[in-house]
Amino acid sequence: MLQVPFIRENKALVIERLEKRNIDATQMINDVIAFDEDRKRIQTELDNTLAESNTLSKEIGNLYKSGESQKANLLKEKTTQLKEVSKELTETLNNKVDALKELLYKIPNVPNELVPSGNSELDNEEIFKAGEIPKLHNDALPHWELAKKYDIIDFELGNKITGAGFPVYKGKGARLQRALIAYFLDKNTAAGYTEYQLPLMINEASGFGTGQLPDKEGQMYHVTEDNLYLIPTAEVPGTNIFRDVVLNESELPIGITSYTPCFRREAGSYGAHVRGLNRLHQFDKVEIIRVEHPSKSYEALDGMIDHVKAILKELKLPYRILRLCGGDTSFTSALTYDFEVFSTAQDRWLEISSVSNFETFQANRLKLRFKNSEGKNELAHTLNGSSLALPRVLAGILENYQTENGIVIPEVLQPYTGFKLID
């Protein structure tokens, strides 16, 4: 959530940057400033009313002490009136504060100056590419056919048990999945991230804290009776560890990592491009999350990008990095880089990671602050990234490492799987 002082001091910049998201925010920004003016006016009126009431109360006490009861009783009538006025002003102020907050919830984060303008993924900028695209044999198959051929993932069984988008991993498929999780966590902890095991459901406050609510309510599974939501990513419970927390500056930076299953309704996702592991309702992901000093968060973002690059280099998968345009950047992010692995069998790029800096947007919602060198509370910056999302990494391995004799396991994963080939 944007801060009102920031909006006031940077009105033209905020409107200009939000245009990168294809949003004309002029009216919303003007409304925020007007609402805040009303809030301050009502607050001042309330403060003056309370001050007058307090002054009269002291005067009444002195009058009673001096035996001037009649004058004291007259003033008591006025204080009664002032209490009614202050009650009405308090209610009006609370309504104004709630209305201002609701308006702020609707305004997305201001894109960083590096974010290109654009409407969709077609306008994203490729900034890096690495890895050699393998030449496959003539009978190469997409991963959903390989899964059936080697009996390692059963999409039909998952459909029977739950529905489309809930695959069942079997045998070497399940072991490869487990190997990837362990490998990713080991890489993250070796890089200084502390491992957490997190809840798979969140309450409403946590959803608002990281920006899933109210923006992405329709994308989450909702347990209505308990008003809980299944997590779309470990980012949500992981970042909410720091909700309503004031850190010492010396505690920064903080880095955590977590493996969780993730749940997304993905309403309206149909067609060949979402076959197999390309788009699921339940999938596994290993996440990295950082809480940073504002002056160091973009240096940290570069470090997270380098970290994911190192993992993909070890897996020897061809990949590229995209800087997302305004129209494709998430509601909460100031700057996002997507990693995509090339699926040779499908002849297309598959997104496997998003690494984002949210600056103070989440921290303001979370009330996540640190005490700076001057002893004042300051909002921290939050960042997160997939390190990595398993389904499309697994799809890339199955498709790019397939041979006529089976699927070779990347060398770095073999100590984790205990086997070198799926045949």
Average pLDDT value for the chain: 95
**Per-residue pLDDT tens digits for 38-95:** 999 999 999 999 999 989 988 888 888 888 888 888 888 888 899 999 999 999 999 9
Nearest to 127 by CA among 305, 282, 247: 305
Q: Is the pLDDT of residue 256 over 80?
A: yes
Question: Which domains are seen in the chain, by residue range?
Answer: 4-105 (1.10.287.40), 121-422 (3.30.930.10)
**Per-residue pLDDT tens digits for 86-138:** 999 999 999 999 999 999 999 999 999 999 999 999 999 999 999 999 999 99
- Give me the pLDDT at residue 271, please: 56
Torsion angle of C-alpha atoms 326, 327, 328, 331, degrees rounded to 10 = 80
- Give me the pLDDT at residue 267, please: 54
Q: Is the pLDDT of residue 415 over 90?
A: yes
Q: What average pLDDT score do residues 273-287 get? A: 91
Q: Is the pLDDT of residue 421 over 90?
A: yes
